[in-house]
Amino acid sequence: MDQESLELRKAGLKVTHPRMRILHLFEESPRRHLTAEDIYRQLLDSQEDIGLATVYRVLTQFEAAGILIKHNFEGGQAVFELDRGQHHDHMIDVDSGKVIEFVSDEIEKLQHEIAERHGYEIQDHSLVLYVRSKGSKKK
What CATH number is given to the structural domain containing 93?
3.30.1490.190
Domain count, the chain: 2
Report the distance separating Cα 44 and Cα 47, nearest Å.
5
Report the distance separating Cα 92 and Cα 101, nearest Å.
9
Tens of pLDDT, residue by residue over 89-115, are 999 998 888 888 999 999 999 999 999
In a shared domain, residues 58 and 105:
no
137 domain-assigned? no
| The pLDDT value given to residue 124 | 87
In a shared domain, residues 93 and 78:
no
| The pLDDT value given to residue 113 | 95
25: domain range? 3-82
Yes or no: say if 5 and 19 are a contact pair by the CB < 8 Å rule.
Answer: no
Binding residues: 87, 89, 108, 125
Binding residues for Fe cation: 87, 89, 108, 125
Q: Which pLDDT band, with edges at 50, 70 and 90, does 117 fall under?
A: very high
Report the distance separating Cα 38 and Cα 79, nearest Å.
9
pLDDT for 4 beyond 60:
yes
In a shared domain, residues 17 and 67:
yes
- Give me the percent of the chain exceeding a pLDDT of 90: 62
The candidate with the shortest Cα–Cα distance to 102, out of 131, 124, 61, is: 131
- Residue 139 to residues 99, 131, 132, 134, 136: CA-CA distances in angstroms? 19, 13, 10, 13, 9
- Residue type (1 letter), 111: Q
Predicted model pTM: 0.80
| The pLDDT value given to residue 139 | 58
In a shared domain, residues 108 and 78:
no
pLDDT for 20 beyond 80:
yes
